[in-house]
Amino acid sequence: MQSTWQQLSKEISESVARAGRAVVAVDGGSGHTSSGILWRSDLVLTAAHTIRPNADIHIIPRPGYSVRAQLAGKGPGADVALLRASQEISAEHAEFGETTSLAVGEIVVAIGRTRRGNLVASSGILSGLMGEWQFGRTRIDQFIRPDLTLYSGFSGGALVGADGKILGMTTSGVARGRPITIPSSTLTRIAEELSEKGHLKTPYIGVVMQPVPIPESLQKTSGVTAATGLLAMHVEASGPADNAGVLLGDVLVQLNEERFDDLSDLQGILRRLGVNQEVKAILIRGGQKVELTVKIGERPLR
């Protein structure tokens, strides 16, 4: 009769083997291989920081088998890159699990592959869980921090939960070498965008602004109760704000019934709302309250 320990070890090993069928090694030209997750038959998700510009990329799904690939899209703000293989990869696609019911202390396993394509794993527990957060200009649905050793080559690989499903992509490129997991929901959303456009959409309204205090006297005369606003110092010609009628010198105090104290607050609101959303903007112009409708645009690529 097997002991509880033996039974647990066997179940973990079986989960690693099952999830590992969707994990590949990636040679992105950095001198060291990373790992990746097979999202579709010819598309692989990996850590963006491991892919060098103009690199000759190879995907290694298993020992003795290599497929050439090219960069299909990159979202450096979330350290996610999408690779397109030159042919379909004969392996199982990732089976993603949901992460909202996770709890601190649960056992998790990080999976990767070596340069030769051998499956490797590192186990630990979930040491940190929080809600939505921002990394650069990218919204991450959930903060997931596993307490385990992310060995060289593990970045871009999978984090597997107790049900054997992939919780997300683990990378050391977000938090200065410490392992962080990009949750499956965020990973899927980014993959869809990269597959469609080759880059992540960044919502913007086309205004250069700086925070300014709003005196109580101006609050009374304008009917605006906000103590802080954002002064429009430059309005991009033909941009979303310009098209809506925002003028130089306007003070933006509310967007879609949400207030903000600084630019990061406003950027967070824009990211939550998303591109092409029409929102009501409240601003102060010449001491008077003005309401405009702004359609959030997509920041042009430079």
Q: Could you read off the pLDDT of 214-242 as tens digits, one per residue?
A: 999 999 999 998 899 999 999 999 999 99
Instruction: Render pLDDT for 195-213 as a digit per residue (tens, 0 to 9).
Output: 988 888 888 899 999 999 9
User: Which of the four pLDDT bands, split at 50, 70 and 90, describes residue 264?
Assistant: confident
Start and end residues for every CATH 2.30.42.10 domain found in the chain: 203-298
pLDDT of res. 76: 64
Instruction: Render pLDDT for 18-65 as a digit per residue (tens, 0 to 9).
Output: 999 999 999 999 888 999 999 999 999 999 999 998 899 999 999 999
pLDDT of res. 177: 66
Most confidently predicted of 156-160, 176-180, 296-300: 156-160
CA distance linking residue 165 with residue 171, whole number of Å: 18
pLDDT of res. 92: 86
What pTM was computed for the model?
Answer: 0.80
Start and end residues for every CATH 2.40.10.120 domain found in the chain: 4-197
Mean pLDDT of the chain: 91
Give the pLDDT mean for 110-129.
Answer: 96
- Cα→Cα distances 233→5, 145, 241, 248, Å: 65, 40, 12, 6
Q: Determine the CATH number of domain 203-298.
A: 2.30.42.10
Q: Determine the CATH number of domain 4-197.
A: 2.40.10.120
pLDDT of res. 257: 86
Phi, psi of 255 (to 5 degrees): -135, 120
Asked if pLDDT for residue 118 goes beyond 70, the answer is yes
Decide the pairing of beta strands 207-213 and 228-235: antiparallel
Terminal-to-terminal C-alpha distance of the chain: 65
Asked if pLDDT for residue 137 goes beyond 80, the answer is no
Cα-atom radius of gyration of the chain, to the nearest Å? 23
87, with CB counted inside 10 A (0-12, 13-18, 19+), is: exposed
Task: Tell me if 15 sits within 8 A of 109, measured CB to CB.
Answer: yes
Looking at residue 289, its amino acid is K
Phi, psi of 86 (to 5 degrees): -75, -15
